[in-house]
Amino acid sequence: MSSPYRHAVFQACVLRFFFSLLGALVFCLQCSLQADVRIPSILGDHMVLQQKSMIRWWGWADPAESITVTSSWGDRVEGVADSGGRWELKMMTPAAGGPHEIVIGGRNEHRLRDVMVGEVWLCSGQSNMEWGGRQQLPQALEEAPSAHHPLIRFFETPKATAHYPQDATVGNWSLCDPQTMAQFSAIGYFYGLKLQEELKVPVGLIGSYWGGTPAEVWTPASVVNSSSSLTQAAKQLQSFAWWPKDPGLCYNAMIHPLTPYNIAGVIWYQGESNVQTASSYRQLFGSMINAWRDAWDLSFPFYYVQIAPFAYEQPLVGPRLREMQTQALEDAPSLGMVVISDLVDDIKDIHPVRKKEVAQRLAAMALNKHYALEDADPFQSPMYAGHEISGKEVRVHFDHATGGLISQGGDPVGFELAGKDRVFHAAKARVDGSDVVLHTPLVPEPVAVRFGFHNQAMPNLFSTQGLPVNLFRSDSW
How far apart (Å, rounded) are the C-alpha atoms in residues 462 and 400?
A: 11
| Cβ(447)–Cβ(472) below 8 Å | no
pLDDT average, residue stretch 102-127: 98
> Which pLDDT band, with edges at 50, 70 and 90, does 12 fall under?
very low
Q: Please answer whether residues 205 and 153 qualify as being in contact, where contact means their C-beta atoms are separated by less than 8 angstroms.
A: yes
CA 225 from centroid of its chain's CA atoms: 23
Q: Mean per-residue pLDDT for 413-430?
A: 98
Within this chain, domains 48-117 and 118-370 share the same CATH topology? no
Is 3.30.70.1350 the CATH classification of the domain at 118-370? no
List pLDDT tens digits, range 334-346.
Answer: 999 999 999 999 9
* Neighbouring residues of 29: CB distance < 8 A, sequence distance ≥ 6: none
- For the purposes of burial, counting CB atoms within 10 Å of the CB of 110, is it exposed (0-12), middle (13-18) or buried (19 or more)? middle
pTM above 0.85, yes or no: yes
Domain ranges of the chain: 48-117, 118-370, 383-473
Cross-strand bridge partners of residue 132: 185
Cα angle 207-213-218, degrees, rounded to a multiple of 5: 65
Distance CA 115, CA 104 (A): 13
β-pair type (302-305, 265-269): parallel
H or E element: which one contains 88?
strand 86-92
pLDDT tens-digit profile of 257-278?
999 999 999 999 999 999 999 9
* CATH level 2 (architecture), domain 48-117: Sandwich (2.60)
pLDDT for residue 113: 98
Burial class (CB in 10 A: 0-12, 13-18, 19+), 394: buried
Backbone φ, ψ for residue 367 (5° rounding):
-65, -35
Contact 364, 449 (CB under 8 A): no
Backbone angles phi, psi at 333, to 5 degrees: -75, 165
- pLDDT of residue 150 exceeding 50: yes
The residues, any chain, with a CB within 8 Å of residue 364's CB and separated by 6 or more, are 194, 376, 377, 378, 379
Phi, psi of 52 (to 5 degrees): 50, 45
What pLDDT does 34 receive? Answer: 53
How do residues 17-65 score in pLDDT, each as one tens digit?
444 444 444 334 444 445 489 999 999 999 999 999 999 999 999 999 9
Q: How many residues does the chain have?
A: 477
